């Protein structure tokens, strides 16, 4: 599996609709942050399984979309940050070193 690049509000709308049948994960990545790069690589090494659809948002290039996501799902903006979307709702969010593949998979399964 690979990352789907999230770059527009239209894509976000599609992602939310798709979450009705399959959990969607948004990874808000800062290309200027070493912690964000480390967490991104850690997730990739763990393997992006097909239980979820994986979406990567470059929040430096798409800051307005990142802010829109934070407002829409009523979460604090952080970086790096993951948001797990299921049935149109953010059921889990985590940031920085708290981002763990095992916890993401567990939350997606529940």
Q: Output the tens digit of pLDDT for each of the chain's 110 residues.
A: 689 999 999 999 999 999 999 999 999 999 999 999 999 999 999 988 899 999 999 999 999 999 999 999 999 989 999 999 999 999 999 999 999 999 999 999 98
Q: Which domains does the chain have, with CATH numbers?
A: 4-109 (3.40.30.10)
Find the distance separating the first CA and the last CA of the chain, reported in whole Å.
22
Judged by DSSP in three states, 57 sits in strand
- pTM check: above 0.85: yes
């Amino acid at each position: 599996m690979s990352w789907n690049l999230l770059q527009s509000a239209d894509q976000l709308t599609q992602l939310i609709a798709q979450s009705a049948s399959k959990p969607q994960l948004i990874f808000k990545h800062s290309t200027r942050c070493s912690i964000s790069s480390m967490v991104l690589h850690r997730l990739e090494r763990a393997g992006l399984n097909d239980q979820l659809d994986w979406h990567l948002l470059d929040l430096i290039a798409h800051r307005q979309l990142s802010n829109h996501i934070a407002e829409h799902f009523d979460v604090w903006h952080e970086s790096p940050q993951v948001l797990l979307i299921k049935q149109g709702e953010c059921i889990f969010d985590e940031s920085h070193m708290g981002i763990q593949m095992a916890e993401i998979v567990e939350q997606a399964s529940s």
